[in-house]
Amino acid sequence: MEYSYPLNPDWTTEEMTIVVQFLEAIERAYEKGIDTLELKEKYHNFKQVVPSKGEEKRLGLDFEKASGYSAYKVMQLVKDATTSKIKMQP
């Protein structure tokens, strides 16, 4: 699937890398499954770059429109997870 990640041109290269790593983790949650602790760590790093709930929601919706993957749904599943690994059902 070809799409671009929603990135803010004002971010540093390091900040863009952190956001892309989080979005790649969301992709893995759908495609292969991902360790819940790894995903929580990626989300924590992401929130250092995107502390605003509004911007997080906007980026999540832009990413979902482009990819079909919902960061919100993945993070809700992680929040309630009782296992060490999650995989989203299509």
The average pLDDT across 50-77 equals 97
pLDDT of amino acid 90: 72
Tell me the pLDDT tens digit for each residue of 26-61: 999 999 999 999 999 999 999 999 999 999 999 999
- At 85 the three-state DSSP class reads strand
1 pLDDT higher than 90: no
> Hey, what domains does the chain have and what are their CATH numbers?
13-82 (1.10.220.80)
Angle at 61 between CA 88 and CA 9, to 5 degrees: 120
| Percentage of the chain lying above the pLDDT 90 cut | 90
pLDDT of amino acid 89: 87
Residues in Cβ contact with 3 at an 8 Å cutoff, skipping those fewer than 6 apart? 66, 67
The answer to pTM > 0.85 is: yes
